[in-house]
Structure 1
């Protein structure tokens, strides 16, 4: 089993794939120097495998590594993830 996350800039979402099959996504909107994560979803048949956490961690790490954008956790899952992982809180204060 191979898990990969990709940033699909044309679709404005990060997609998580298992063996090249999409199993979830995190939608974002960029406005100025902010990136708002507005919706995160994992296929109901794939829930409970940690895909949402892998997806959001990758997305936040990618924002940190490739931009100075401030993260707006508009999605409840992203908000909860940031609250549980203090190392990402600085992204919301940029």
Structure 2
């Protein structure tokens, strides 16, 4: 994650069912579904105004940190999150071993 995102807080917006960060008035976010043991990440979105800034990667990394800190297992249905874990295989440690694409990570 780029250093400029270090101090931007991750917000778990339970009303909208998304994890989000606000950068210059714009939101990069990940839609999620959650149960007592797992968090499924469905879709990552970053507006065009944040394109190329690293905001999408920052919200993913902050969300993965949140999932790990809270003792949940990850279901990375979002293609962007899946690709992020492929590029950063140390995060496979929080992926639920029963996830259909687990062996592809």
What is the TM-score normalised by the length of structure 1? 0.85
CA contact (8 A) 1:15 1:22 kept: no
Counting matched residue pairs gives: 92
Checking the alignment, whether the CA contact within 8 Å between 2:33 and 2:39 is kept in structure 1 is yes
Match of 2:49 among 39, 45, 48: 45
2:8, 2:22 → 1: CA distance? Answer: 6
RMSD, aligned CA? 1.8
| TM-score of the aligned structures, taking structure 2 as reference length | 0.77
Between the aligned partners of 2:8 and 2:65, the Cα distance in structure 1 is 16
Alpha-carbon distance in structure 2 between the residues aligned to 1:22 and 1:8:
15
Say yes or no: does 1:10 pair with 2:4: no
Q: 5+ residue gaps in structure 1?
A: none
- Cα distance in 1 for partners of 2:96, 2:18 equals 22
Q: Deviations over 1:21-73 (max 9, x none)?
A: 2321101001341110000000012111000010000000011112x221000
Q: Which runs of 4+ in 1 moved over 4 A?
A: none
